[in-house]
Every structure is written in structure tokens, then in C-alpha cells.
């Protein structure tokens, strides 16, 4: 016959472990998990190789097929983004009604509306390349409207980034508050650089599509596109590894 012995000794207290900090591998894996950004990075990289170094004739087909595939992957986000942004537009319209047409609600409505344009262009491009034929002039018109919306949206974002920098309390902040403010200012500077690149891309594309004015070479266009991708990657790493990225590692002045 067994005897059950009850113990009144308290259970040992196990402290909750501190959350693990992200390292470079975590953040790199996180970037690769975004199939659309990763796909854009691949096909823009192929454009850069072709434009600045040249691709041997025997490898042209492989590179061309790879670029085509990754471009299609990037374009497949169109339907999902269109649904997401149109739903957001619906909510913003309700907000305008509920808030009596306030200026802030109207601003949010305009921003939600312009974000619906890009996915329509992506959907048309995807359908043209993968499934059915859409006249080139129709796709070009949609692309032009999309680039116009891009320039408009990025101009708005640039104003907000400039506002963040201009109205920063960095000069008066101290200690951890200053570190946090410094992080936000640097992030705003990086976003501003990316937004300016996108604005230039939008304006150049609108001039070429709607007015037939070619103001840049193909090499400049590829370099501009690569700049937006590079800044997107830098911002991704900076936002996730801010304390590990020092001014020595990226192009930010030490005196900021």
C-alpha cells in the first residue's frame, strides 16, 4: 500500500525571461519573409547588373526569365492591396461623415483614396503579363496615373518627415528621452531620402508617359529605382536594429 505525501513547500519562482533582442539574422529573415519587397529587390538588382555591368548573351534568357518571374510575384499583391485600401477608404468616408467633414478626416480620406490607384495599375500589369491581353496604351495610362498618385503620396509623406525633423525636441531633450528623439529624427531623415527618390521617379515617369518628355537616361532610372530599394532595406534594418546601427555604418552625420 502506497502512501501519498503532501508537501507544503512553495513552488520555486521562475522569473520570466527577458525578451530576446533581434539580431541581424532575425531582421534579414524578416525582410526575406516579405515576398513582394524581396521580389522587387531581385528584379531591380537584375536591372542594375544588366545596365551597369552587362549580362552575357548566353545568360540573357535565364536573367530575363528570372526578372519576369519576380516581377510577376511583386505584381500579385495588387488584388490584396486594392481590397485593403478600398476598405480603408470606406472607413475614412464614414469618419468624414461622423466628424462633420473635419479637416483631419478629409486629409485621411484623400490619403486613403490615392493609395487605391497603385494596386489597380499592378492588377492590370499582372493580367497583361500573365493571363490576358490589355492594350498597351491602357496599361501605360494606368501606370501614369499610378506614378502621379505615387508622387502625390510621397510628397505628403515628405512634408510629414520634414515636420518631424523641424519640430523635434532633440536640442532640449536629455538622457533616454534624447536617445528616443534622436532615433525618430534619424528615421525621419531616412524616410525623407526615400520619399524624395520616389517623388523624382513619379515626376520623371509622368513626364515620359503623358507628355513624351524624356529627361533622364535609362541608367539614371535604374539607379533611382535601386536607390528606393536600398533605402527601403536600410530603413527596415534601422527600425529593427536601431541601437546596433551607428553613424559609422550608414551615411548619417555623427553630430546629429
Q: What is the pLDDT of residue 253?
A: 43
Going through the chain in order, the beta strands assigned E by DSSP cover: none
CA–CA distance from 221 to each of 73, 136, 178 (Å)? 21, 21, 38
pLDDT in tens, 119-131: 988 888 888 877 6
How far apart are the C-alpha atoms of 87 and 53, rounded to whole Å?
44
Residue with the three cell numbers 555591368: 53
Q: How far is residue 192 CA from its own chain's centroid?
A: 12
How far apart are the C-alpha atoms of 179 and 172, rounded to whole Å?
12
pTM exceeds 0.95, yes or no: no
For residue 157, what pLDDT band results from cuts at 50, 70 and 90? very high
CA–CA distance from 189 to each of 165, 186, 200, 240 (Å)? 7, 5, 17, 16
pLDDT in tens, 5-21: 555 555 455 555 445 56
Residue 51: CB atoms within 10 Å: 17
Residue 146: CB atoms within 10 Å: 23
How far apart are the C-alpha atoms of 153 and 203, rounded to whole Å?
12
pLDDT in tens, 216-252: 999 999 999 999 999 999 999 898 886 555 444 444 4
How far apart are the C-alpha atoms of 221 and 230, rounded to whole Å?
14
Instruction: Please report, rounded to a whole number, the percentage of residues in the chain having pLDDT higher than 70.
Output: 84
Q: What is the pLDDT of residue 13?
A: 52
How far apart are the C-alpha atoms of 172 and 253, rounded to whole Å?
19
Average pLDDT over residues 181-200: 95
Q: What is the pLDDT of residue 8?
A: 55
What sign does the dihedral 99-101-107-109 (CA atoms) show? positive
For residue 3, what pLDDT band results from cuts at 50, 70 and 90? low
Amino acid at each position: 500500500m502506497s502512501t501519498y505525501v503532501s508537501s507544503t513547500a512553495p513552488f520555486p519562482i521562475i522569473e520570466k525571461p527577458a525578451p530576446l533582442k533581434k539580431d541581424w539574422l532575425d531582421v534579414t529573415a524578416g525582410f526575406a519573409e516579405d515576398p513582394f519587397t524581396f521580389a522587387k529587390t531581385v528584379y531591380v538588382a537584375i536591372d542594375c547588373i544588366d545596365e551597369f555591368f552587362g549580362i552575357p548573351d548566353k545568360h540573357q534568357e535565364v536573367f530575363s526569365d528570372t526578372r519576369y518571374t519576380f516581377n510577376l510575384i511583386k505584381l500579385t499583391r495588387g488584388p490584396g492591396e486594392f481590397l485593403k485600401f478600398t476598405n480603408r477608404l470606406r472607413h475614412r468616408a464614414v469618419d468624414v461623415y461622423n466628424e462633420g467633414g473635419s479637416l483631419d478626416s478629409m486629409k485621411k480620406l484623400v490619403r486613403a483614396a490615392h493609395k487605391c490607384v497603385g494596386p489597380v495599375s499592378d492588377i492590370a500589369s499582372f493580367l497583361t503579363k500573365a493571363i490576358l491581353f490589355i492594350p498597351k496604351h491602357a496599361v501605360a495610362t494606368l501606370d501614369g496615373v499610378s506614378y502621379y498618385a505615387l508622387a502625390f503620396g510621397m510628397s505628403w509623406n515628405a512634408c510629414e518627415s520634414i515636420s518631424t525633423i523641424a519640430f523635434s525636441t532633440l536640442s532640449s531633450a536629455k538622457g533616454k528621452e534624447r536617445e528616443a528623439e534622436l532615433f525618430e529624427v534619424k528615421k525621419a531623415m531616412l524616410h525623407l531620402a526615400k520619399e524624395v527618390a520616389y517623388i523624382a521617379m513619379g515626376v520623371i515617369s509622368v513626364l515620359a508617359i503623358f507628355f513624351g518628355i524624356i529627361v533622364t537616361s535609362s541608367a539614371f532610372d535604374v539607379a533611382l529605382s535601386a536607390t528606393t530599394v536600398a533605402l527601403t532595406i536600410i530603413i527596415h534594418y534601422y527600425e529593427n536594429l536601431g541601437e546596433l546601427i551607428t553613424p559609422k555604418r550608414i551615411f548619417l552625420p555623427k553630430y546629429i
